[in-house]
Amino acid sequence: MDARCIHVAALAITVYLVQIFRPRARRSGDDSAWVDDEGVEPVQSGDARMEQLQQSVDAIAVEVERIGEAQRWSAKMAAKPGEESGERR
């Protein structure tokens, strides 16, 4: 995979998650201004879900960084075609 593909995928996931977890707003019937839903109680399982989401995002970030490092190492090795891998002269 190309590094640009990884960045595009990470951006798409970020945009998706922002759309899901952004504060919901509704338009008031009498007013043309946007107002927040203040009367809605948060769900008790929301904290657990948010914690799980944070752990998942952290795990994805670590894996993306690991893949990036592997790609940089692979590109570095490909740039040195005359040298044997792991042997010194």
Measured CA to CA in angstroms, residue 5 lies from 31, 78, 85 at distances of 44, 20, 28
Q: pLDDT: is 24 or 74 the higher one? A: 74
75 pLDDT band, cuts 50/70/90, is very high
Residue with tokens 């919901």: 24
Nearest CA to 85 among 67, 73, 70? Answer: 73
Q: What SS3 class is residue 23?
A: coil
Query: In the chain, where are the structural domains located?
Result: 1-20+45-80
CA angle at 32 for the pair 29 and 38, rounded to the nearest 5°: 65
Torsion of CA 61, 63, 68, 74, to 10 degrees: 170
The pLDDT of residue 81: 75
